[in-house]
Structure 1
Amino acid sequence: MAIAFLFPGQGSQDVGMGRDLAQTYPVAREVFEEVDAALSQNLSQIMWEGPKETLTLTENAQPALMAVSMAVMRVLEREYGFSLKDKVKFVAGHSLGEYSALAAAQAFTLADAARLLKLRGQAMQAAVPVGKGAMTALLGVGMDVAQKVAEAAAQGEVCQVANDNEPTQVVLSGEKSALDRVPDVGKEFGVRRAVPLPVSAPFHCSLMQPAADAMAEALANVTVSTPVVPVIANVLAAPISDPEEIKKRLVEQVTGTVRWRECVTYMTANGVTDVYEIGAGKVLAGLAKRIEKSLNATSIGAPADVEAAISQLNS
């Protein structure tokens, strides 16, 4: 049995996430306190009490999701003696989750990860005026068809593949006027459904270049350590460990495609049999099973999940 840990991205947030961890485990509560202090913000109160609209703001959702993932990690490691270095072959995270994965693998400090994600959220939101960008999920088709749809819908505007999530779900991102053409264009290519996503900005496309520039500047001033476990980079679908390459790939990730399907396929091809989604929600566990049916996929986000999984993790 070989294990990979996966860390969720935006969309998995919900009011109340992490509260039961904080109430059950003092070490989890410390994580939320550290993140609040790093941001000079009572983010944990927003996480636990809402309102949902405030939590969903990109600049709040990104560090909040990382905080829940790291609270789970701290419980596993300090309460139950789990060793990521000894037990896990790869870590990977979806979009912002790549920062969670890097923090879990000790490449980033918790405080640096929180501050970087706060800035990332602010920069992504500021990169494109509200209403100018959009994202749409294509259902029932894979990457090859999605690229053709994007090219046909673009008509000189930005329309790119943002997320290759699983064999029948690909997300496009770009200018709203181009994305508005996607449902009709998609019919010509066999798209079953084209679903506009309720997002505040067109992530992972060239319109995000101002945010990529902001992250390049921020990452240049942060110490990145060699991760204790290889991190599968979103933009490569391959492992990286060199600190300078980590910075480079995180900058590329802002405008680049999240190659999640290929990330999971790479891990499976290299011996991974069991994946654990660490943090809020169950999105990545579901995607993993649709990408590779042979995988055992488990979500760990609450105290009961920790207790159910720890004996297997420590075996």
Structure 2
Amino acid sequence: MPVRAFVFPGQGSQAVGMGKELAAAFPVARETFEEVDEALKQNLSRLIFEGPAEELTLTANAQPALMAVSLAVVRVLAREGGLRVAEGCALVAGHSLGEYSALAAADSFTVTEAARLLRLRGEAMQKAVPPGEGAMAALLGIEADEARAVCAEAASGEVVEVANDNGGGQVVISGAAAAVERAIAAAKARGVKRAIPLAVSAPFHCALMAPAAEAMAKALAATPPRPPVVPLVPNVTATPTDDPEEIRDLLIRQVTGTVRWRESVAAMKEAGVDTVVELGAGKVLAGLVKRIDPELTALSVGTPGEIEAFLKTV
């Protein structure tokens, strides 16, 4: 029997129309989208299914939207296939906002709680830095330690830090716009293959997000996580935990901290996982897992067809 980890995508995986087939095919998926709409007092599902894309991409919309699609998949697997998270996987993990999806899947938050926390998180992250003052860039063909050295060299008293260690030679940096530009130049001088400025609305996962971390500290004090039914591999430490106090602390630190995805995948393998199943929109995480460790089986489950094929293997 495969030992599975369920993983949940982050921002950038959103696309207009995601989850639409699910909602059409499965009543429990429809109910999940309706629950998120009710929690936010907004017809988010219509925005998810019909767009416009620029509105869906707004951080405050994209974060709860991606969680809604992931949790719709989780509930379809449980209702249609009898595959519940507690028995179906050994660990859960998520990329940035996906950590909230993972915790909701593992009954640490309700869907309503996760939707409201992610709406607040998205708004707080957006407000933390005025538009145009921050930037992010993907560096390809570099490992995290060298990227940290590049950031240190380019900082000149400004913030520029490793935001995501995605593995497979892909590192995302984040910080003040001018410092990110200097880091791109420094990376190219070191022979980095490509440095791509990212079209993001704020510099996530760096020290400039401190105001958003404070907002999440207050929100998570009011809505603390419960013990998850299976351990979480957190972004901040990449060490599995099911301690709700530690999880709450790590969710606060995650706002300014590095998403240690490469190390998270290594931790899953070390814990005996041989199959990583991405639940929700897109195929970004499955692709990263394959690059990080080709020995792991990685698959994406987000459409009715993918759910049907996956349930046949369970």
Q: Provide the TM-score with structure 1 as the length reference.
A: 0.98
Q: CA deviation at 1:15?
A: 0.2
Measure, in 2, the Cα distance between the counterparts of 1:247 and 1:226: 10
Find the counterpart in structure 1 of residue 232 from structure 2.
231
1:239 maps to a residue whose letter is P
Q: Stretches of 4+ moved more than 3 A in 1? A: none
Task: Flag structure 1 segments of 5+ consecutive residues without an equivalent.
Answer: none
1:235-281 deviation line (CA, Å, top 9, x unaligned): 00011111111110000000000000000011112211111100000
- Percentage identity across aligned positions? 61
Check the 8 A contact 1:141/1:190 in 2, yes or no.
no
| TM-score calculated relative to the size of structure 2 | 0.99
Number of the residue aligned with 2:249: 248
Residue 8 (structure 2) pairs with residue 7 (structure 1): yes
2:126 counterpart of 1:139: no
Alpha-carbon deviation of 1:229? 0.5
Match of 1:20 in 2: 21
Shift of residue 223, structure 1, vs aligned partner:
3.8
CA contact (8 A) 2:144 2:171 kept: yes
Whether 2:63 is the aligned partner of 1:62: answer yes
Aligned-pair distance for 1:302? Answer: 0.4
Corresponding residue for residue 81 of structure 1: 82
Structural mapping, 1:37-186, within 5 Å: 37-186=38-187
Quote how far apart the aligned CAs of 1:172 are: 0.4
CA apart distance, 1:312: 1.4
1:205 alignment counterpart: 206
Q: Which letter does structure 2 place at the counterpart of 1:216?
A: A
Contact 1:182 1:194 in 2 (8 A): no
Q: Which residue of structure 1 lines up, in the alignment, with residue 282 of structure 2?
A: 281
CA distance in 2, matches of 1:133, 1:97: 22
> Is the partner of 1:5 in helix, strand or coil?
strand
For residue 188 of structure 1, report the CA deviation from its aligned partner: 2.6
Instruction: After TM superposition, give the deviation of residue 93 of structure 1 in Å.
Output: 0.1
Residue 298 of structure 1 aligns to a residue whose secondary structure is: strand
Residues 143 and 167 of structure 1 are in contact (CA less than 8 Å); yes or no, is this contact kept in structure 2?
Answer: no
Give the aligned CA root-mean-square deviation in angstroms: 0.7
Query: What is the CA–CA distance in structure 2 between the aligned matches of 1:210 and 1:77, rounded to whole Å?
Result: 38
SS of equivalent to 1:12: coil
CA contact (8 A) 2:224 2:248 kept: no
Q: Is the 8 A contact 2:11 2:97 kept in 1?
A: yes
CA positional deviation for 1:60: 0.1
Deviation at 1:83, TM superposition (A): 2.1
Which aligned pairs between 1:259-298 and structure 2 lie closer than 5 A? Answer: 259-298=260-299
**Amino acid across the alignment from 1:22:** A
